[in-house]
Amino acid sequence: MNFWGKVKEDLQKGLEEGFTYVKEGASVVMKKAEELTEEGKRRYRLYELKTRVQQEISELGGKVYDLSGKVRNPMLDSRVKAIKTRIKRLETEIVKLEGNPKTKLRKTASRGKTARKVTKRKASESKTE
């Protein structure tokens, strides 16, 4: 094969490989963009839910304050119970979106107990030395 034929073949091969890499790169970028979009939507939904919880808690506080002078136990009022129910529902939605934070707390708590045992052992070892 002559020089020009070799160059032409190499250029064609390089062009095809380049298109393949561009297509793969575009595919990866699209997938990542979709993931980031979904994460953004999730975070915005969390923000909305937490804002609604804040509004409900403010309303609850106002309602309890208003009833506190009129009723012996304002927590038994049906409007207060309705607000508490809405807050619980929102809290459940938030926990679903965030994952289960109670599991994380348990793991952290168990680490704390282990850390305390190690600290106690170290303290008792230093007393014996």
Under DSSP, the state recorded for 76 is: G
Same domain, 107 and 61: no
Is the per-residue pLDDT at 101 higher than 60?
no
Q: What is the mean pLDDT of residues 14-40?
A: 88
Same domain, 52 and 19: yes
Strand, coil or helix: 1: coil
The one-letter amino acid code at 53 reads V
Sign of the CA dihedral with 45 first, then 48, 54, and 60 last: negative
Q: The domain containing residue 107 runs over which residues?
A: 101-129
Q: Report the first-to-last Cα separation within the chain, whole angstroms.
A: 85
Between residues 113 and 85, the one the model is more confident about: 85
Same domain, 106 and 93: no
DSSP 9-47: HHHHHHHHHHHHHHHHHHHHHHHHHHHHHHHHHHHHHHH
Q: What is the mean pLDDT of residues 6-10?
A: 79
Is the per-residue pLDDT at 100 higher than 60?
no
pLDDT digits (tens, 9 = 90+) for 40-54: 999 999 999 999 999
How many folded domains does the chain comprise? 2
Same domain, 93 and 107: no
d(CA 53, CA 88): 9
Residue 72 CA, chain-centre distance (Å), reads 40
Same domain, 88 and 111: no
Residue 108 CA, chain-centre distance (Å), reads 17
- CB atoms near residue 1 (< 10 Å): 7
